[in-house]
Structure 1
Amino acid sequence: MNQTLLQTLGIKHPLIMAPMFLVSNEPMMLAAIRSGIAGTFPSLNYRKEGELPALLERLNQAKAGHPQGTYGVNLIVQKTNPLYKKHLDACVTAKVPFYITSLGNPRDVIEAAHSYGARVLCDVTNLQHAEKAAQNGADGFIAVCAGAGGHAGPYPMHVLVPALKKAFPDMTVTAAGAIATGQQIASAMVLGADSVSIGTRFIASREATVSDEYKNAIISHGMEDIVLTEKLSGTPCNIINTPAAQKMGYRQSGFEKWLSRNPRTRKYFKMMVQMKGMKKLEKAIKPNHYNQLWSAGQSVEMVDEILSVEEIVQRLMQEYQESVRALR
């Protein structure tokens, strides 16, 4: 275990609760902080005027009372995110402890964060992304591997994590994708990861305010039920293969791909696709809604009950310690 990363983030356990669009919420963040891990959330979960600054103030108060836990904010840094600059300004004002950047150039976030001593971890799916992030001053990588919920990468953890550690020995690497047990955490550590990021397991938590149908889907589906689709956000992402997902489809048409690549149309087309996808997902998390489009990773295979966030963390770390002892 890399103690330096734990000290840098200010956490007891090498675990980040991954940012999940429309799932990550304040009760989950507070429970993560109390549990000695890092809770993170996408800033786009808070789009109403004044919501984000008020939340950050409350999270800072919670962190002050529980110094072994922390929180971070996930920023979508693509130009297609209309709230990016506004949300970044709010985060800097609140002195957010650390950031996770996704889908774009992280340079502005890194400069802003470093101005007051915060850290930035950048989502990467390959060595090329990692090189660009490192050149811009990133403090570490989130290695988004195959099987991750939401925007997944193409490479398995057992290839991407050691490849990143070999190419960037001085950078911290957090393994993300298809991790839901302490044994899998131990596996990531053996590969050289400094910490892990877990999302899907926490959807089936008592603090998550998604519908019971969504939580039960996490429990009842297996790894073979997860499919990769381009239709939801324009970027390949993993969802549960429900009838609604089958109806939506998995691949963009040739014309849609042309619109997403054409210099004159790509920004606006991607923005339109993402907005439509956000609305579909927003409806799908509500109870009894027919449009069951649910983001999840292949680790649904390992999830079989709904627990509190603190119970999940306790079990994960117990399993992790048992796995480490078994290796000795």
Structure 2
Amino acid sequence: MSHTLSQTLGMQHPLIMAPMFLVSNEAMMKAAIRSGIAGTFPSLNFRKEGELPELLERLNGARSGASGTYGVNLIVQKTNPLYKKHLDACVAAAVPFYITSLGNPREVIDAAHSYGAKVLCDVTNLEHAAKAAQVGADGLIAVCAGAGGHAGPYPMHVLVPALKKEFPHMPVVAAGGIATGRQMASAMILGADAVSVGTRFIASTEASVSEEYKQAIVDHGMEDIVLTERLSGTPCNIINTPTAQKLGYKQSSFEKWLSRNPRTRKYFKMMVQMKGMKKLEKAVKPNHYTHLWSAGQSVEMVEDISGVETIVARLLEEYRQSVQSFVS
């Protein structure tokens, strides 16, 4: 099990705290950096004027002398109105690495490589992976079935080996359904160079979401996770609350037509994403009646709310014990 990717990205352990919309925050990033892992966050979590550049400056300071690092997740679809502005801010701050989602990553890759940063691209299948490899991606994040938020259709035990077989010289990060060190070890044995864990960190003391959301992560199981197209236009895993049931899971035939028609596609997708973003933003606030919460199937394995550093230490200890049991 190679930890080359960890060294390349500047982290001590092969563990990435996944970027989570409206969840990932500064306190979580700094705790990840102190823990020797990589904390990542969506740039869209910091949409106010001047907010992102100021945060990046503080995170660069937090990296000094630490064994961990951070990265920024950029939604590269044309429907993201802040994409170019956020990319420029990230380049100006010399962000260590990027994760790209939902679009062509070429511009991010070219910008990152101009100063030596790395780019990992979210992929859900071999076709997407091939396109990312062709434009110079430094690694692939295998977004597998069961992941929180935008999930892929294939299980980790199929997608990760398939990517390693098709792209043997490219690092692969396993994402989706991982919340314990044993699951982490399983992914590494499959050939993953690192893992990305998201849902487990929602139930952390540093997360600034409502206590209701955190407790929902603890209380719900894998059968409570459903895939909906109604939130962002892209299949997305959420907890099956009454609010989710009211929202629905499938787009209508007319909505699908609007999302595919060349004349309406961009604007319809932008509208759906903005509406979904506002719904989620309300739902994460304390005591709000809307219970619309993104999460992955790994809620099954989450049993408490703990500090980020405690969660990381537990994951790594379970990982070491699992690897030792495999070796012996």
Match of 1:230 in 2: 229
Aligned-partner SS, 2:142 = strand
Distance 1:169 1:65 in 2: 33
Aligned residue number for residue 41 of structure 1: 41
Q: CA deviation at 1:164?
A: 0.1
Q: Which residue does 1:12 correspond to in 2?
A: 12
Structure 1 residue 3: Cα displacement: 2.6
Find the counterpart in structure 1 of residue 190 from structure 2: 191
Q: What is residue 139 of structure 1 aligned with on the other side? A: 138
> Unaligned stretches of 5+ in structure 1?
none
Shift of 1:121: 0.1
- Aligned residues of 2:3 and 2:194 also touching (Cα < 8 A): no
Match of 1:274 in 2: 273
Would you say the 8 A contact 2:151–2:235 is kept in 1?
A: yes
2: CA distance, partners of 1:185 / 1:22: 25
User: Is the aligned partner of 1:77 residue 2:76?
Assistant: yes
Return the letter of the residue paired with 1:76: I
The AA in structure 1 aligned to 2:78 is K
Please give the secondary structure, in 2, of the residue aligned with 1:56. helix
Amino acid at match of 1:59: L
Q: 1:117-266 to 2 correspondence within 5 Å?
A: 117-266=116-265
In structure 1, give the amino acid aligned to 2:308: V
- Aligned partner of 2:54 in structure 1 is 54
1: CA distance, partners of 2:299 / 2:228:
17
Q: Over residues 191-238 of structure 1, what are the superposed CA-to-partner deviations in whole Å (9 max), with x where a residue is unaligned?
A: 000000000000000000000000000000000000000000000000
CA distance in structure 2 between the partners assigned to 1:176 and 1:7 by the alignment: 19
1:92 is matched with 91
- For residues 2 and 131 of structure 2, the distance between their equivalents in structure 1, rounded to whole angstroms, comes to 24
- SS for the counterpart of 1:65 is coil
CA distance in 2, matches of 1:140, 1:114: 13
Provide, for residues 17-55 of structure 1, a one-character-per-residue CA deviation record: whole Å limited to 9, x for no partner: 000000000000000000000000000000000000000
User: Secondary structure at the residue paired with 2:64?
Assistant: helix
Q: What is the number of equivalent residue pairs in this alignment? A: 327
Shift of 1:4: 1.6
Aligned to 1:316: 315
**Structure 1 segments of 4 or more deviating over 3 A?**
none
- Partners of 1:239 and 1:3 lie apart in 2 by 32
Per the TM alignment, residue 176 of structure 1 is displaced from its structure 2 partner at its CA by 0.1
Equivalent AA in structure 2 for residue 146 of structure 1: A
SS at match of 1:122: strand
Runs of 5+ consecutive residues of structure 2 not aligned to the other structure: none
Instruction: Give the CA deviation at 1:320.
Output: 0.3
Classify the secondary structure of the residue corresponding to 1:129.
helix
Match for residue 28 of structure 2? 28
How far apart are 1:291 and its partner, in Å? 1.0
Q: Distance in 2 between matches of 1:186 and 1:174?
A: 12
1:290 matched residue in structure 2: 289
What's the offset of the Cα at 1:65? Answer: 3.0
Identity of aligned residues (%): 81
Residue-by-residue CA offset, 1:102-151 (whole Å, 9 max, x unaligned): 00000000000000000000000000000000000000000000000000
Give the TM-score, by structure 1 length: 0.99
Task: Tell me, yes or no, if structure 1 residue 116 matches structure 2 residue 87.
Answer: no
How far residue 327 of structure 1 moved from its aligned partner, in angstroms, is: 0.7
Aligned counterparts of 1:227 and 1:166: Cα–Cα separation in 2: 30
Give the AA of the match of 2:51: E
Q: Which amino acid aligns with 1:100?
A: I
Tell me the residue number matched to 2:64: 64
Task: Report the residue type matching 1:168 in the other structure.
Answer: F
Query: CA separation in 1, counterparts of 2:288 and 2:82?
Result: 28
TM-score computed with the length of structure 2 as normaliser: 0.99
The one-letter amino acid paired with 2:151 is A
Displacement of 1:288: 1.2
How far apart are the structure 1 equivalents of 2:230 and 2:3?
A: 41
Q: Distance in 1 between matches of 2:50 and 2:291?
A: 30
The aligned amino acid for 2:71 is: G
